Each structure stands twice: as structure tokens, then as C-alpha cells.
């Protein structure tokens, strides 16, 4: 069953006016089509400035799309009434990039985790404490953490509390923005295993923003690669990473550090400004395989015949036919 359905979502911000009085627009999202079904684990990958976080803000209802329609379980998100809106916020949890910054520094861990339970009336006040303890155990923290403040926790612990808080409202969907970035590999591995176990055990739907392709492949069955506000390729993660169809995906995988390959700066320069989008294909200014036609035509995301992958490229990279 479809949980999220995004139809040609656009989001732009007005950042000023030109000399002739026209609006100067920053196009953060430029026609995103995405369907997420119950139990899916989806990674959104791409460089900073590709629109990943904006997309997630729209999915959480924190902002409204400028154009396009966004459905949550067949109802348009902006049309949810008060009651449905509250159910939505219980069902869909968010894990912020900056875990420590997302917690009230004056609240103790026990209260941080208990608040969603009380807010959504999931249990009586007397039951909060044992439920919070059980939750802590689930994320691998001891009960002794209950009375700590966020500032008294290590980087890894604070992320675990963030995961626990996301679980406190008994959600069906977890949306996470770079929640394992900047950690030591040892702590990151623990957290990745925790997230993976939770998703499988509880059958959660996961939308995971990351710039780490390894993390994407470990947690998510499907991946959407974003570039300048568009999805340029999507499909099953392992297939997409090992046999990319879009030159941008290939550039990301080539740049990803590996023991088996030498260092390869596959892309030159940086992502262009979303205020002045390139003509034609948005990747044409940096694409190593660019051809003349690419500078004139913006390719739509089209299904790749033969498998369940889609790519937005006039000249997709070849992969052996019939091999999945």
C-alpha cells in the first residue's frame, strides 16, 4: 500500500527581484515524482544542494510544495484535518541531522522520550516510565540514562536517544536526515545495525537521506539519486550502485572511497546554483559524457526497459541486457 505519493512536486523560493521586476527564483525541487509503499526502505542520495532535505521537509508537512501534489495514504497532505494531522505526526517520525540540537537541553532523557507518549495519549502517565525504560533497552542504552541531560551523553548515545524518541510515538514511517554522519566507524556500525534490525523487526518504512552510498546500500533496498532538485536515477540500491545508468550516479560511485580502486575525482567543479539552472539537462555542465543534444533537451525520468529502474538521461550508460 502506498504511504507517500509525490506527483511532480516543485518547490521554489523567491530570493529577490531582477532589474525588470521579475521574481528571482531558487528552484529547490523541480518536478519530483516518487512513490513510497508500506515497508519500503528508500535512500535519497546526492550532493549538498540537490534538494534531499527540502523534499523531506515537504513530506513532513513542514513546508508546502509550490506546485504538484503530495499524498499521504491517498489523502493530500495539506488537506488533512486536525485529527488526521495529529495521527500523521504520530505515524511519521523524523530523526534530525543534528541529534543534540534537536533536543531540549533542559529536558532529561526520560522526559524527552516520554513526551511523545503523553502527547499522543499512548499510555497513562504511570506507565510512561517503564515504557521509556523498555525503549532505551531497545536502542541499546541502559536505564541509567533516564536522568541524564543531552549534554551529558556522547555522540553515539545522543543519536541512540534520537532514534528512541522517533520510536516513542510507535510510528509506521521513519524519515531520517543524515542521522549517522560524522560518527566514528565503530559507533556508526552499531547504529546502522540498530536501524536495520528495527526496520526489519517492526516492519517500518524508512526514508533515509544520506551522502554515504555505503550506508544507503546497507539500510535501503531502493535508492533515488537527486541532482539539482530532480531525481535523475532510481532503482534497487545494489543494482544502481554497481551498474549505474546515469553518469551522475557513476560519478558518485567512482568518488566513493574504496579499498579496491585508486582515488578518482570523477567530477569537476561543484553543483551549480539552483537560481540559474543549466539549460537542457541539468547535469550537462559537469557531465563527462555530455553531447550537444544534452545542452538543449532536459530529459525526463523514464523507466528503463527490462527492469524496475528509471533514469533521466538522453544517453544512459549501457548495461548488459538481461542481467539483473
Partner 1 sequence: MIGARSTPREQVAIAQDLSSDELLHIDSLTLRRGKASVLDEVSLTLAKGRTLGLVGESGAGKSTLAMALIGLLMAPEVELSGSMLYQGQELVGLSDKRFAQLRGKKIGLIFQDATTSLDPCFTIGQQITEPLRRHLGLSRAEALERAVELLDSVGIPDARARLSAYPHQLSGGMQQRVMISIALACDPELLIADEPTSALDVTVQAQIMELILRRVRATGASAVIVLHDLALTAQVCDDVAVMYAGQIVETGPAHLVLEQALHPYTIGLRSCVVEFDSAELVPLPGTVPSLSELPKGCRFFSRCSYALPKCQEQRPKLEWREGRRVACWQLDVIHLKDASR
Grid coordinates representing 319? Answer: 548495461
For residues 116 to 155, the per-residue mask of contacts with partner 1, x marking binding by CB under 8 A and - elsewhere, is: --------------------------------------xx
Q: Are 212 and 181 in contact (CB under 8 A)?
A: yes
Give the residue with the Cβ less far from partner 1, 68 or 140: 140
Please list every residue from 158 through 217 that binds partner 1, using CB under 8 A: 182, 184-190, 192-193, 211-215, 217
Give the residue with the Cβ less far from partner 1, 155 or 203: 155
Determine the Cα–Cα distance for residues 146 and 151; give it in Å rounded to an integer: 13
Grid coordinates representing 68? Answer: 504538484
Determine the Cα–Cα distance for residues 300 and 35; give it in Å rounded to an integer: 16
Residue located via cell numbers 533496498: 221
CB 176, min distance to partner 1, A? 16
CB 248, min distance to partner 1, A? 9
Residues whose CB falls within 8 Å of the CB of residue 145, separated by 6 or more in sequence, listed in order: 109, 136, 153, 157, 161
Q: Are 185 and 32 in contact (CB under 8 A)?
A: no
Q: Name 4's bridge partners.
A: 36, 72
Give the residue with the Cβ less far from partner 1, 209 or 213: 213
Determine the Cα–Cα distance for residues 27 and 194; give it in Å rounded to an integer: 36
CB 108, min distance to partner 1, A? 22
Determine the Cα–Cα distance for residues 251 and 264; give it in Å rounded to an integer: 9
Q: Are 66 and 10 in contact (CB under 8 A)?
A: yes
Q: Could you tell me how many residues make up the chain? A: 324
Give the residue with the Cβ less far from partner 1, 7 or 183: 183
Give the residue with the Cβ less far from partner 1, 67 or 154: 154
CB 185, min distance to partner 1, A? 4
Number of residues that bind partner 1 (CB under 8 A): 44
CB 246, min distance to partner 1, A? 14
Give the residue with the Cβ less far from partner 1, 238 or 293: 238
Q: Are 300 and 54 in contact (CB under 8 A)?
A: no
CB 291, min distance to partner 1, A? 21
Please list every residue from 10 through 69 that binds partner 1, using CB under 8 A: 47-48
Please list every residue from 225 through 284 that binds partner 1, using CB under 8 A: 238, 241-242, 251-259, 261-270
Give the residue with the Cβ less far from partner 1, 162 or 194: 194
Q: How many C-beta atoms lie closer than 10 Å to residue 155's C-beta? A: 12
Instruction: State the residues that interact with partner 1 by CB under 8 A.
Output: 47-48, 154-156, 182, 184-190, 192-193, 211-215, 217-218, 238, 241-242, 251-259, 261-270
Amino acid at each position: 500500500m502506498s504511504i507517500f505519493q509525490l506527483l511532480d512536486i516543485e518547490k521554489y523560493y523567491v530570493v529577490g527581484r531582477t532589474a525588470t521586476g521579475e521574481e528571482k527564483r531558487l528552484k529547490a525541487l523541480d518536478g519530483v515524482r516518487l512513490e513510497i509503499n508500506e515497508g519500503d526502505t528508500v535512500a535519497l542520495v546526492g550532493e549538498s544542494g540537490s534538494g534531499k532535505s527540502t523534499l523531506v521537509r515537504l513530506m513532513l508537512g513542514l513546508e508546502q510544495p509550490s506546485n504538484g501534489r503530495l499524498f499521504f495514504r491517498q489523502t493530500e497532505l495539506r488537506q488533512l484535518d486536525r485529527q488526521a494531522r495529529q495521527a500523521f505526526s504520530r505515524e511519521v517520525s523524523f530523526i534530525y541531522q543534528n541529534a543534540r540540537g534537536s533536543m531540549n537541553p533542559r529536558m532529561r532523557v526520560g522526559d524527552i522520550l516520554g513526551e511523545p507518549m503523553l502527547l499522543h495519549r499512548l499510555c497513562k502517565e504511570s506507565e510512561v516510565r517503564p515504557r521509556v525504560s523498555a525503549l532505551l533497552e531497545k536502542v541499546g542504552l541502559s536505564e541509567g540514562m533516564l536522568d541524564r541531560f543531552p549534554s551529558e551523553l556522547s555522540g553515539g548515545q545522543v543519536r541512540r536517544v534520537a532514534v528512541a524518541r522517533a520510536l516513542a510515538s510507535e510510528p509506521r514511517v521513519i524519515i531520517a536526515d543524515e542521522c549517522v554522519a560524522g560518527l566514528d566507524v565503530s559507533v556508526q556500525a552499531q547504529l546502522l545495525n540498530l536501524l536495520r534490525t528495527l526496520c526489519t523487526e517492526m516492519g517500518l518504512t524508512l526514508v533515509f537521506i544520506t551522502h554515504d552510498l555505503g550506508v544507503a546500500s546497507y539500510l535501503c533496498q531502493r535508492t533515488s539519486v537527486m541532482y539539482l532538485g530532480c531525481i535523475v536515477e532510481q532503482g534497487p540500491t545494489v543494482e544502481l550502485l554497481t551498474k549505474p545508468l546515469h553518469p551522475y550516479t557513476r560519478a558518485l560511485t567512482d568518488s566513493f572511497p574504496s579499498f579496491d580502486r585508486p582515488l578518482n575525482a570523477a567530477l569537476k567543479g561543484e553543483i551549480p546554483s539552483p537560481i540559474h539552472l543549466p539549460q537542457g539537462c541539468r547535469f550537462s555542465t559537469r557531465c563527462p559524457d555530455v553531447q550537444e543534444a544534452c545542452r538543449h533537451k532536459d530529459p525526463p525520468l523514464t523507466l528503463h526497459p527490462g527492469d524496475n529502474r528509471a533514469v533521466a538521461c538522453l544517453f544512459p550508460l549501457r548495461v548488459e541486457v538481461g542481467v539483473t
